[in-house]
Amino acid sequence: MRLQRVLRVGPLGTALTVGQLAWILRQHWQTIPTEHRHRLQQLLRQAKGNPSKLPEHDRRELRELVHELNLPRLLRRTAIDAVVLGRRRRP
């Protein structure tokens, strides 16, 4: 059912939705202090997708930095925007 709804929007609508999501993600990412963003990127590169490759103190730091991302807030914001956007499209 949801896939059919996405397909009905068409390629332009899908591109606009993806663009809006990218904009929200970018805004959210920029709320984090620069030094924390750089350190998070460094730890993620070092871990190569597997945090168990990191020493314990780096894993702890990675956990703290990911917690700082405040993912529930990001999910709430994207969900609210998706609902609002969906309401605007309905005839």
Residues 63-73 pLDDT 10s: 998 888 888 88
Tell whether 11 is covered by a domain: no
Six token digits for residue 33: 């202090």
Q: % helix / strand / coil in the chain, to the nearest 5?
A: 85, 0, 15
Tell whether 6 is covered by a domain: no
What lies within 8 Å, CB to CB, of 66 at 6+ separation is 40
* This model's pTM is above 0.85: no
CA angle 77/84/2 to nearest 5° reads 90
Give the number of domains in the chain.
1
Residue range(s) defining the domain that contains residue 83 = 18-89
Tell whether 2 is covered by a domain: no
Q: Where are the beta strands (DSSP E) in 2-80?
A: none
Percent of the chain with pLDDT over 90: 19
Residue 32 DSSP label: S
Tell whether 83 is covered by a domain: yes
Q: pLDDT-derived band of residue 90, with 50, 70 and 90 as boundaries? A: very low
